[in-house]
Amino acid sequence: MHDLNQSNSWKSLNDHYNEIKNISLNKLFKDDTNRFNNFSLNFNNMLIDYSKNHINKKTLSLFKNLLIEININKKIKKFFDGKKINFTENRAVMHYLLRGSYSKNNKKIYENDVEKSLKKIKKISDKINSQKLLGYSGKKIKNVINIGIGGSNLGPKMACEALKYYSNRKIHLFFISNIDPTNLKETLRNINAEKSIFIISSKSFETIETLTNATIAKKWFLDKSFDKKNLNKHFFSVTANIIKAKKFGINEENIFPFWDWVGGRYSLWSPVGLPISIQIGFNNFNKMLEGAKDMDTHFRIKPFEKNIPIIMACIGIWYNNFHNCETHAIFPYDEYLKLFPSYLQQADMESNGKSITKNNNKTNYETGPIIWGDKGTNGQHAFFQLIHQGTKIIPSDFIGFINSLNKIGKSHEMLLSNLIGQTKALMQGKSEDEVKKTINQEKNNNINIDSIIKSKSFEGNKPSTTILFDKLTPYNLGKLIALYEHKIFVQGCIWNINSYDQWGVELGKELSNEVCENLNSNKTKNNLDSSTNGLINFYKKLSHK
């Protein structure tokens, strides 16, 4: 593909942006009384309302031209056919296979590998949930400790929290990711070795944080159980490197293999999701896979005008590349989804935080936005001030559920009222004339009325997209996650970057190893910069080895 900035469709979008950039959301609604129906979609009780964005029918028409120009249908086909679209690592990207979305090109991989893996996940999940899995002393397993980092932690941890309502409360899950020993130490304080299993989750079985924590956990367990043979009943691994897992001391029967065509941040559907299946039961885990599979089908077959991931991707490009918005906020109005923004940070920023195109050129346009957010309504009492009255435009996704899983009084109605009310307030704002009507001048003799009027007025015109489901279920969570996966894919295609490698995390790892050698040495290498030297020397001065 030629330079994105020089493409005809991109130039047309830029001209169109200059035409409508000063048209407010309020005017767009005033001019189109049917705007909500024109800019919303319903997919199996999942509503996406994108009417509160600075777009019109021409905007979407021009994006459709862009997608035709980059041949998005061919790219989607290559993706689902299992072509090696991760070209820097010469790998296919087939996490959709894990939920049964295969094509004739990779159906055999699903039947030979994935189905076998699912049966193994089901077997161990059923055994733990029925409390038939016993530890070395004959006691029932009650604690499951997952040791992993990045995709081996964020995905399963988020899903376990999101689906906590469906969990087996007799099983306690712990997630160890941080190399900070406090994370592991505090967990080990709360568990009994006889009733605990450890899942070492690392695709390469070489991740330094995971292996360090796994080694400490193994020593702790052996100190408690006194016999290496007991590892066979208490240590499991999810990895693509079976040889290294066995060398660590894990019985091959306890190893859940996964494949190089599964990227870490897209791996919760694989055996990496074993903790999810254990916590909510395999049947519910399978429903999550079904939800994602249905979103896969929607993404593959729906035309542009009806395709939710594609429309969301284009809206994101519109703000990132034309409105010059640097961040994108995610606000789930549900306590169970509190980790979803953190999960999407990795999924999106590790995927599209790239500046080299597939043609090996430096991009001369912006790529992935900064993803952030928090659960509602907490964020309203923290940083919404900046979104409402600050100087930045922050496109936001509001996610909610019509029916609460824990209904008490009218609390849920208040929660949803805040979600809908915030999107309305962001769009509508409040004029100075409206503020004036609310001020009783007689009671405010000691304050500057003009100052109050200015400070209480809201410019509005702030964009948002709302996603509503009937309720939070494993099926709906699967749909939601897959929606964002495909949005990320489409944006990577438009920016012409490789969304499926992550070389950006490697350099820091390499240099931290070099620093670690210096921290543990009596001498410091002379080739280090003065700042690094100074930090190392300060550490040595105050450390108690």
Residues annotated as catalytic (active site), given as ranges: 350, 381, 509
What is d(CA 320, CA 300) in angstroms, rounded to the nearest whole number?
A: 25
Q: Which of 146, 114, 113 is nearest to 128 (CA)?
A: 146
3-state secondary structure of 397: strand
Could you say which DSSP state residue 204 is in? S
CB 53 within 8 Å of CB 463 = yes
Longest dimension (CA), the chain: 83
Count helices and strands (H / E) in the chain: 23, 11
What is d(CA 282, CA 164) in angstroms, rounded to the nearest whole number?
A: 14
Q: Which of 9, 18, 26, 1 is nearest to 61 (CA)?
A: 9
Cross-strand partners of 330: 373, 397
What is d(CA 111, CA 463) in angstroms, rounded to the nearest whole number?
A: 44
What is d(CA 245, CA 481) in angstroms, rounded to the nearest whole number?
A: 30
Neighbours of 122 (CB within 10 A): 16
What is d(CA 493, CA 358) in angstroms, rounded to the nearest whole number?
A: 10
Cross-strand partners of 239: 257
CB 198 within 8 Å of CB 235 = yes
CB 75 within 8 Å of CB 68 = no
